Structure 1
Amino acid sequence: MSTSSPSLARDYVLPSLNRLARWLGLTLLRDVVALTVIGAVLLVALLPLSTLVPAPVWIALALAEAALVVVLLRFKWMLPAAGGVFAGSVVVAALAVFASQAYAGTPPITDAQGRPFRNGIATLEKVTLNGSEQWITLRGQDVDNPVLLNLGMGGPGGGGFATRTLFEPLEEHFVVVSWDEPGTGKSYNAVPMEALTPERFVEDAHALTELLRARFDEDKIYVYGTSWTSILGVWLVQQYPELYHAYIGNAQMVNTTENDILGYELALQYVTGRGDTAAAERLRRNGPPPYDGPGMLDKYVAYLDILNDYMDAPRYTLVVPIVPFLAPEYGLIDKVNHTRGLIESFQVVYPQLRDLDFLVQANRLEVPVYFFVGRDDVNAMASLVAEYHNTLQAPHNELIWLEGGHGLNGDNLGHFTDVMVNTILPQTYEK
């Protein structure tokens, strides 16, 4: 027969539970504080690496966060100190984000002595297009040069600022205007995501064209599109040919469904030939495109990343999050919104393109057309672009082969620039 009383057992158990609860609470607090400190440190570290925040500002924030870390270590994670460090790190992180947004801008264009060109322009500006606020950059050594509208990097959902350096060689000869289309980057909140339609993009690009014509006193401008924005570019010059000197298409999309089926079949053949049974099984399980509904994006990325391997290009799962962090035009929130925009816009807009067929729908354009085509491009199939070029009726229709795969890169940028300056400009520009 037991002689221990229930109250004695309870008196023993309750302190143990209290100690356990206290230990768990302190452990959780330390983890939260540690993660907050690490987050603040990373945000501050990004300021000099990927934004135009002035050195005195980010140095002050770095010193403030360093002081908080010293306090934390000095007082050995004591509760009042840990709470103060947590609050201080939250403030530092918030100030870092605020500064990145406030100081977002495009770098100046300078001569060999580091002086801005007297008649040049290098600005990041908010404009109103059909009632919504959107963002553009304007860059050139001379505002009297012809205007080149860069519709963005593709997607749908790719902004116009992340690829700025590709157009720097043209800034001597053009005023290069790059556009963050609605639904991404700095224009992420321009319109509700569900309002994104082909018609919306065309009309916003048209409104931007009219704004640029008026601002620079030009009857016509040039328009450049790549991948998804090459679709937008064709639509734009088809509907408003009188506004453009020429259309320049790179990685031209022609028939999205046929293009995607060809890409899927090549990806399946490629991984099967390499003996990658897991990747082949995944593609077979997904089936051929077009895709829609839940998991749509993952299914496209599954074979597109394989095509990037085929072209010796980085995978989209690596490139998409990194690219916006290279653009000082984006604050830290904008950088995240660029990635969100690519993911969300693609899922809204791309299914609306499945019936696209320019061989039928745009077999005649009333402006000079120049197609830049990567010899190894299997994302926008070079064979389909060549077929479109051979059937398209236009005042001038020229196909220029580039080395490499999908889009512009270091291997073909010099050739692209040379043709733009020494062929397209002399053939098409009249002041």
Structure 2
Amino acid sequence: MIAAVVLFLPVLLLPLTTSVPMWAWLPLLLLGLFALLWLILRRRRRAVRPMAVGVMALAAIVAVLASQTLAITPPITGSDGEPVPGSVAEMEAVELNGSEQWITIRGHDASNPVLLNLGMGGPGGGGFFNSTEFRPLEEHFTVVNWDEPGTGKSYGAVPFDDLDRERFVADATALTNHLRERFGQDKIYIYGVSWSSILGIWLAQEHPELFHAFISSGQMVNTTENDRMGYQLALDHLEEQGDTGRAETLRNNGPPPYYGDAVVWPYVDFLDVLNEMMGVPRYTLVVPLLGLLVPEYGYVDTINHTRGLINSFNAVYPQLEDLDFVDQAPELEVPVFFFVGRHDVNAMPTLVEEYYDELSAPEKRLIWLEGGHGLGSADNKDVFVDVMLDEVRPLSQ
């Protein structure tokens, strides 16, 4: 019975967590229910047990395959529920420097300026998860969301040992040029958050001629100093709360940076505390579930998203130990827009403000958000959309 219930979960979750259409999931759901009822009603007959579980296993295997092969990005619909005429909503693999990597392209009008979402934090977060943040902009931009190599649908694109600054910049540049050619535009916009805000600075620094502007939230400036500040905040918080066990774990880990083959775990120990301080779930709780919120992901992609976060972090984050944009990127030749959470304790606002004050750029704006760096609250989303439409989009005209 336990085996049957576990095997039934992939079938049951198809309509709830994937974009598999009803014609595919409904027969599997009925087959799974039949096998489950057959097992319950005939449980005294030993011969029934392996047959029922076998049917359930078959349904689970087909469900996994369906979740992968039938995944799509949802259409852009109007108030009547019908696709908007002339809109584009595509998910496709593109070849970037010899590797296959995945993007979604979404917008009401393909002639709008292109906005490339470089992805979430990590490294290894990918761009498919936070693509919903850009839904309000799809009427005014053609939004491209990129699953970077090593995560999600691009999990196996590049060996993890090959992931470094040169590879990320080269692949992002190749994608930028692909989009410029496809949509007939000389320049595009780029957006980054946390880890991908680092990549965004690198791109703007090396190829300013390709971009109208760089936009970020949760901007990273000096990762080692940022993490040491976060570690101390977390430790002080645990001691104030009387959580001696977790405080002792942090003291045993010591302050960052960390070294070895599994650096992600001591970082997560204090990052979980920082998330609690901002009132959001722990990484260890939410990360395995993130992929289930992405309609473009099948079940294998969901697993690879978690694996990608762990493996990419272990491979890339130690390379950022000496990062300091105040010294390394004091001047950018593109307009820059930083969205900064007043009470963010992941990307320290004091470091962002210091960098902003020192930064030389054709145009720069620091926009304060309430709470953390995320755009989850309605007020922060409104601020983000207003700035993007009133100040950022006109730069392409």
TM-score (norm 1): 0.90
Residues 155 and 346 of structure 1 are in contact (CA less than 8 Å); yes or no, is this contact kept in structure 2? yes
Q: Which amino acid aligns with 1:114?
A: G
* Structure-2 residue corresponding to 1:332: 299
Q: 1:127 aligns with which of 90, 94, 99?
A: 94
Q: 1:182 aligns with which of 149, 152, 155?
A: 149
Q: 2:186 aligns with which of 203, 219, 233?
A: 219
Identical aligned residues as a percent: 57
Measure, in 2, the Cα distance between the counterparts of 1:342 and 1:225.
16
* Structure-2 residue corresponding to 1:197: 164
How many matched pairs?
A: 396
Q: Indicate whether 1:101 and 2:68 are aligned.
A: yes
Q: 2:257 aligns with which of 278, 290, 313?
A: 290
Q: 1:423 aligns with which of 373, 381, 391?
A: 391
Q: 2:269 aligns with which of 295, 302, 320?
A: 302
Which runs of no fewer than 5 residues in structure 2 stay unpaired?
none
Q: Indicate whether 1:136 and 2:103 are aligned.
A: yes
**How much has 1:400 moved relative to structure 2?**
0.6
**How much has 1:60 moved relative to structure 2?**
0.6
* Structure-2 residue corresponding to 1:388: 355
Residues 261 and 314 of structure 2 are in contact (CA less than 8 Å); yes or no, is this contact kept in structure 1? no
Measure, in 2, the Cα distance between the counterparts of 1:393 and 1:162.
32
Measure, in 2, the Cα distance between the counterparts of 1:329 and 1:162.
9
Q: Indicate whether 1:72 and 2:28 are aligned.
A: no
**How much has 1:202 moved relative to structure 2?**
0.8
1:204 is paired with a residue whose SS is helix
Give 1:322-361 correspondences, 5 Å limit. Answer: 322-361=289-328
Q: Which amino acid aligns with 1:176?
A: V
**How much has 1:77 moved relative to structure 2?**
4.7
Q: 1:266 aligns with which of 223, 227, 233?
A: 233
2:213 is paired with a residue whose SS is strand
Which runs of no fewer than 5 residues in structure 1 stay unpaired?
1-33
* Structure-1 residue corresponding to 2:55: 88
1:348 is paired with a residue whose SS is helix
**How much has 1:85 moved relative to structure 2?**
1.8
Q: Could you list the per-position Cα deviations for residues 188-234 of structure 1 after superposition, in whole angstroms to 9, with x for gaps in the alignment?
A: 01111222112111110000000000000000000000000000000
Q: Could you list the per-position Cα deviations for residues 11-45 of structure 1 after superposition, in whole angstroms to 9, with x for gaps in the alignment?
A: xxxxxxxxxxxxxxxxxxxxxxx343112211011
**How much has 1:110 moved relative to structure 2?**
1.2
* Structure-2 residue corresponding to 1:404: 371
Q: Which amino acid aligns with 1:415?
A: V
Q: Which amino acid aligns with 2:304?
A: N
Deviates more, 1:407-416 or 1:121-130: 407-416
Measure, in 1, the Cα distance between the counterparts of 2:275 and 2:42.
52
Q: Could you list the per-position Cα deviations for residues 53-91 of structure 1 after superposition, in whole angstroms to 9, with x for gaps in the alignment?
A: 111221111111122123323432534322222321221
Give 1:43-62 correspondences, 5 Å limit. Answer: 43-62=10-29
Q: Indicate whether 1:413 and 2:374 are aligned.
A: no
Residues 149 and 222 of structure 1 are in contact (CA less than 8 Å); yes or no, is this contact kept in structure 2? yes
**How much has 1:142 moved relative to structure 2?**
0.7
Deviates more, 1:318-327 or 1:271-280: 271-280
Please, what is the CA RMSD of the aligned residues?
A: 1.2
**How much has 1:342 moved relative to structure 2?**
0.6
Q: Indicate whether 1:257 and 2:224 are aligned.
A: yes
Measure, in 2, the Cα distance between the counterparts of 1:294 and 1:238.
30
2:47 is paired with a residue whose SS is helix
Q: Which amino acid aligns with 2:393?
A: L
Q: Could you list the per-position Cα deviations for residues 315-351 of structure 1 after superposition, in whole angstroms to 9, with x for gaps in the alignment?
A: 1112211221111100111011111111111111101
Q: Which amino acid aligns with 1:149?
A: L
Answer with 1 or 2: which has the greater Rg: 1
Q: Which amino acid aligns with 1:224?
A: Y
1:163 is paired with a residue whose SS is helix
**How much has 1:282 moved relative to structure 2?**
1.3
Residues 124 and 308 of structure 2 are in contact (CA less than 8 Å); yes or no, is this contact kept in structure 1? yes
1:252 is paired with a residue whose SS is coil
Deviates more, 1:288-297 or 1:66-75: 66-75
Measure, in 1, the Cα distance between the counterparts of 2:338 and 2:268.
26
1:412 is paired with a residue whose SS is helix
